[in-house]
Structure 1
Amino acid sequence: MNDIKIYVQEPSGDKTPVDAPTDMGLSLMEVLKASGYPIAATCGGMALCATCHIEVLSDHELPPPSDDEGYMLDSLPAVTDNSRLSCQVRLTPELDELVVKLGAGD
């Protein structure tokens, strides 16, 4: 198993590590939900609801959002240039040490 560490910035500013496997085809949303984070993921990961909105705080290069993800992000009131839907971020070894903030102010 190839695990990476994802860090979630808490409201206090502290960063909590989350171990995430990269060999199972999981999305960031799936790992965050399994780790107990309160992500609604109403649409089940189909990029239809934006309830898994995150802000990427680290300098990692992620693939660009799909058109569907872009449309959902455009509908959010607190979107930033680093906003993503965690259901659309597939975990890869390159994302080791990724830092995200949940909700990003929604």
Structure 2
Amino acid sequence: MQDITINITDRNGQIHTIDAPTDMNLNLMEVIRMYELAEEGTIGVCGGMAMCASCQCYILNDVLKSERNDDEEAMLSEAYHVKPNSRLGCQINITSNIEGLSIEIAPEQ
């Protein structure tokens, strides 16, 4: 078992440095919910199916190497507050490859 460190800026601008387990098959949206870093009912509304963009976040460093998948592209094309560095947290798996990731949770949809 190995935890990784992720820096998450919440919707109020507060930075949280959290430990996320890599052995539980979690995604970033689930970790944000687990640490209660967004108001309940405002993140992961679709349950992580890439169908609502409530878990949109902005990638703040170059740790994440994966590109958006087709479902993510489609959802973000319809979302608000989208930036070039926008990703859906439900599509980012917690693995050792993203150690040190820094993100900002996007404003509510």
TM score, norm. by length of structure 1? 0.89
2:11 counterpart of 1:26? no
Structure 1 unpaired stretches of 5+: none
In 2, Cα distance between equivalents of 1:11 and 1:52: 12
Provide Cα deviations, 1:24-44, integer angstroms capped at 9, x if missing partner.
111011111000122421110
Task: Using the TM superposition, give the Cα deviation of residue 15 of structure 1 relative to its aligned residue in structure 2, in angstroms.
Answer: 2.5
The size of the alignment, in residue pairs, is 106
Kindly report which structure 2 residues correspond to 1:70-89, keeping only aligned pairs within 5 A, or say none.
Answer: 70-89=73-92
Larger displacement relative to structure 2 (38-47 or 6-15) = 6-15
CA RMSD of aligned residues (A): 1.8
In 1, Cα distance between equivalents of 2:84 and 2:15: 21
Structure 2 unpaired stretches of 5+: none
In 1, Cα distance between equivalents of 2:58 and 2:44: 16
The answer for the alignment partner of 1:58 in structure 2 is 61
TM score, norm. by length of structure 2? 0.86
Is the Cα contact below 8 Å between 2:54 and 2:108 reproduced in 1? no
In 2, Cα distance between equivalents of 1:47 and 1:10: 20
The answer for the alignment partner of 1:3 in structure 2 is 3
41, 45, 49: which one aligns with 1:42: 45
Counterpart residue type for residue 17 of structure 1? T
SS in 1 for 2:87: strand
